[in-house]
């Protein structure tokens, strides 16, 4: 019996170790725009999107409207890639997001990339790529990157970087720790919310405006954005 208990404990330790989420070298996700002070805001919105998910595609333009409505001095939008296994090219498209980020270090380029992927969601979906290899699909992604002014050869080289692969794995595992099982899914100040893909900007304002009022004691208009003074 003692030997059996030791075996069970040993197996449990192995399983726990195998499921451990690695600590990333930077916070996961891609920030849409930084505030003038480069500080994160009191109101934070994390969005978990699959780059080849039709529901995510539908929700994406409104997500950007929300970010632009409040501005980076009021709301920090962070986009996470959560590739779903039944969209077979989704992990590659997610890797492309990280590749663009590393090649440009530009939040706007990352979101331009995601928008381009959604524009090409059908050619990259399962049926049209059924007989294509991973190399073929990666070349398609390279052509999309070239439309953003990124040299295709540099993009393809970055796609072969193991660290690009690892960063997307870590972001996916982070989503799992938040209970993400489908997309799009959101976390508002860390609290996970299932929000309908058809929500409008008005719907979002109804949820976020009360949070802004609670966290702000004084608001000053600064250009096109609101600056929080606490």
Residues 141, 119: Cα–Cα separation, whole Å: 12
Residues 6+ apart with CB under 8 A from 38: none
Neighbours of 182 (CB within 10 A): 13
For 7-57, write each residue's pLDDT tens digit: 333 333 333 344 566 676 667 789 998 766 666 789 999 999 999 999 999
| Token pair listed for 195 | 């929000």
Task: Report the b/e string of 214-224 with b at 16+ CB within 10 A.
Answer: eebeeeeeeee
Instruction: Cite the beta strand spans of 96-145 per DSSP E.
Output: none
Q: In whole numbers, what is the pLDDT of the chain averaged over residues?
A: 84
For 134-178, write each residue's pLDDT tens digit: 999 999 999 999 999 999 999 999 999 999 999 999 999 999 998
Neighbours of 197 (CB within 10 A): 15
pTM for this one?
Answer: 0.81
> In this structure, are residues 49 and 79 in contact, taking their beta carbons and an 8 Å threshold?
yes
> In this structure, are residues 52 and 90 in contact, taking their beta carbons and an 8 Å threshold?
yes
CA 182 remoteness from chain centre: 13
């Amino acid at each position: 019996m003692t030997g059996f208990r030791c075996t069970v404990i040993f197996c449990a330790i192995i399983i726990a170790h195998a499921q451990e989420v690695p600590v990333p070298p930077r916070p996961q996700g891609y920030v849409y725009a930084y505030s003038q002070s480069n500080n994160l805001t009191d109101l934070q919105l994390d969005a978990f999107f699959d780059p080849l998910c039709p529901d995510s595609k539908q929700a994406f333009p409104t997500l950007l409207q929300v970010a632009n409505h409040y501005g980076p001095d009021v709301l920090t939008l962070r986009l996470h890639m959560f590739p779903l296994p039944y969209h077979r090219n989704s992990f590659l498209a997610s890797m492309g997001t990280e590749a663009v980020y590393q090649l440009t270090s530009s939040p706007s380029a990352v979101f331009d990339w995601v928008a381009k992927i959604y524009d090409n969601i059908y050619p990259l979906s399962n049926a049209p790529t059924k007989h294509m290899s991973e190399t073929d699909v990666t070349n398609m992604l390279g052509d999309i990157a070239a439309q953003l002014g990124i040299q295709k050869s540099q993009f393809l080289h970055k796609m072969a970087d193991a660290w690009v692969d690892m960063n997307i794995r870590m972001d996916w595992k982070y989503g799992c720790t938040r209970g993400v099982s489908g997309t799009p899914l959101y976390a508002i100040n860390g609290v996970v919310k299932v929000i309908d893909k058809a929500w409008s900007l008005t719907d979002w304002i109804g949820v976020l405006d009360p949070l802004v009022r609670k966290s702000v004691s004084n608001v000053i208009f600064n250009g096109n954005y609101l600056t929080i003074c606490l």
